[in-house]
Structure 1
């Protein structure tokens, strides 16, 4: 039962931090679109912080797996991992979009 609760905690951590990272990255794009580049950079850093927390949860799982403590795979776990990977991709793309808005802003000046 303790393993089940711990597994659910990791899953929720992945989903929450992945979702928060994606949300922050989305806010960064909107801030850059409005010319608020300091805010955009802060939101990208915020997204990175959430992704770091998700990565730490994954690392803990991988360490346990390497030590022979195998996690029970469920559809929810797969969904959580997918959520994090999508957030990572979205964060990377958001960084490129923010940079693009910065370049457009500089060329107009």
Structure 2
């Protein structure tokens, strides 16, 4: 097997790993949103913490790859890796927005409860 073929397989494996971890995180974030909508805020926040763990795993894998490339190793870019990067970045953006979204849901929940009492 040539170095190019081995390199391509390694990059694809890394890409699949990033997609898997980022996908798990995205699923947790979407589930968190559903919990918040239903007023289950403790569960919503727990799911965000779980998502953060998966994002960190994906980000660590990405960082190792970037370190290899920065040290002079010529890496082959693949569609799988591009998909992994896209999935990770959009998931990170969603996670960054979750604190605000959960806060807004909690505020609405409190206000609705106050309106029911009055």
Considering the TM-score relative to the shorter chain, is it more than 0.5? yes
Q: TM-score, normalised by structure 1?
A: 0.90
Aligned partners of 1:17 and 1:50 also within 8 Å: yes
Aligned partner of 2:80 in structure 1 is 76
Aligned partner of 1:101 in structure 2 is 105
Q: TM-score, normalised by structure 2?
A: 0.84
The Cα of 1:94 is off from its aligned counterpart by: 2.8
The Cα of 1:42 is off from its aligned counterpart by: 0.4
How many residues were matched structurally?
109
> RMSD value over aligned CA atoms?
1.4
Q: Which runs of 5+ in 1 are unaligned?
A: none
Q: Does 1:40 align with 2:44?
A: yes
- The more displaced of 23-32 and 63-72 is 63-72
Q: Deviations over 1:70-89 (max 9, x none)?
A: 21012221111111111111
- Structure 2 CA distance, aligned partners of 1:5 and 1:79? 15
